């Protein structure tokens, strides 16, 4: 909407000069308004792609409103570092990349072991693919942004606000580390699969066969308890479950109890039934075999 208004209601230069953040003439309003302006469709599409890539899991971990607050806070951090390195610039700074870089910083802390492939190109030619994890991929990106920021200070070769990216990223890392000190359960939320409000799934044995009459219970710290029993095909469903972090147990006579956690969210990219596997119970007491009758002597 902001992108459309920029080009339909007025010329982009007028909008950028009024609502973009200009370090030579700083204003509190433009710190926030600049986060929602973009220089064109490609600029907007690129930022939204990165927000989609990293923001989904971070939002599910924090929750919608806390995510929005962290997003804006990261945007402010991005603008702050950009101001420190470009205090006399008269060029308006616009774009969501600083705030989104902050969300990348949140992802960096919450999901350090996520898998990434780094694609190496020379011009349009693909050179190599390096398989790595979050720390390697995002760490390489942060190092690149820092190097480009330093080069831009020496030789003005790009209009990209690299220091805003670093400022947002650092703010996201610091904010997430601080939240984890007080809310360590956030890391548990982030590592769990996210399920839409209708929790459904299958209970299976070790060979993949479905188990009927298994009791599925889920509850949270507030004391709420919901239950379901698997049908003849091993299926269960619990509808209209409020958002939150839940503990669950699955029990069945003669089978070992299964325990775990799951996160329920009303929004998700896809709804996949969960699969829970059970093992048959093994008696812990050693049962001695009956003594055999002595062999007849000959």
- What is the chain's pLDDT, residue by residue, as a tens digit (298 residues)? 555 665 555 566 777 888 889 888 888 999 999 998 888 888 888 899 999 889 988 988 888 899 999 999 999 999 999 999 988 888 889 989 999 999 999 999 998 888 887 777 776 777 778 888 888 889 999 999 999 999 988 887 777 889 999 999 999 999 999 999 998 878 776 666 555 567 888 999 988 899 999 999 988 766 778 889 999 999 998 887 777 778 899 999 989 999 988 877 765 555 567 889 998 875 544 443 334 444 444 3
Tell me the per-residue pLDDT of 168-182, one tens digit each, with 9 for 90 and over.
999 999 999 999 999
CB 218, CB 248: distance < 8 Å: yes
E strands, the chain, are: 115-122, 125-133, 194-195, 199-204, 215-219, 225-229, 235-238, 244-252, 255-264, 274-277
Q: Please, where in the chain does CATH 1.20.1540.10 lie?
A: 2-186
Return the residue matching tokens 């009303």: 266
pLDDT tens digits along 217-248: 988 766 778 889 999 999 998 887 777 778 89
Scored b (16 or more CB within 10 A) or e, 98-119 reads bbbbbbbbbbbbbbeebebeee
For every residue of 169-214, DSSP letters joined together read HHHHHHHHHHHHHH-THHHHHHHS-EE-SSEEEEEE-TTS-B-SS-
As assigned by CATH, the class of the 194-277 domain is mainly beta
Question: What's the rounded Cα separation, in Å, for the pair 96 and 170?
Answer: 15
Delimit the CATH 2.60.40.10 region(s) of the chain.
Answer: 194-277
* Distances in whole angstroms, Cα of residue 70 to Cα of each of 80, 115, 169, 179: 15, 24, 12, 10
CATH number belonging to domain 2-186: 1.20.1540.10
What is the phi/psi pair of residue 21, to 5°? -90, 115
User: Is residue 139 within 8 Å of 112, Cβ to Cβ?
Assistant: no
**Which pTM does this prediction carry?**
0.65
């Amino acid at each position: 909407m902001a992108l459309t208004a920029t080009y339909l209601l007025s010329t982009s230069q007028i909008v950028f000069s009024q609502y973009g953040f200009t370090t030579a003439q700083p204003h509190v309003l433009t710190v926030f308004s600049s986060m929602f302006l973009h220089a064109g469709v490609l600029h907007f599409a690129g930022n939204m792609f990165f927000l989609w890539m990293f923001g989904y899991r971070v939002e599910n971990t924090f929750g919608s409103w806390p995510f929005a607050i962290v997003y804006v806070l990261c945007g402010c951090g991005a603008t702050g570092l950009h101001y420190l390195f470009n205090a006399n610039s008269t060029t308006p700074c616009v774009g969501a990349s600083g705030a989104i870089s902050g969300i990348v910083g949140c992802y960096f802390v919450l999901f350090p072991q996520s898998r990434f492939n780094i694609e190496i190109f020379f011009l349009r030619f693909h050179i190599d693919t390096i398989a790595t994890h979050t720390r390697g991929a995002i760490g390489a990106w942060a190092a690149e942004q820092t190097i480009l920021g330093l080069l831009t200070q020496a030789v003005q070769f790009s209009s990209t606000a690299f220091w805003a990216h670093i400022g947002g990223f650092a703010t996201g890392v610091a904010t997430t580390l601080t939240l984890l000190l007080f809310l360590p359960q956030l890391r548990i939320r982030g590592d769990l699969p996210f399920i839409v409000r209708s929790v459904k799934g299958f209970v299976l044995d070790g060979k993949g066969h479905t188990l009927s009459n298994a009791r599925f219970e889920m509850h949270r710290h507030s004391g709420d308890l919901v239950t379901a029993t698997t049908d003849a095909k091993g299926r269960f469903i619990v509808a209209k479950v409020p958002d939150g972090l839940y503990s669950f147990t699955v029990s069945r006579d003669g089978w070992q109890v299964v325990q775990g956690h799951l996160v329920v969210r009303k929004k998700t990219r896809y709804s996949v039934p969960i699969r829970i596997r059970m093992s048959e119970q093994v008696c812990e007491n050693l049962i001695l075999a009956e003594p055999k009758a002595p062999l007849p002597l000959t």
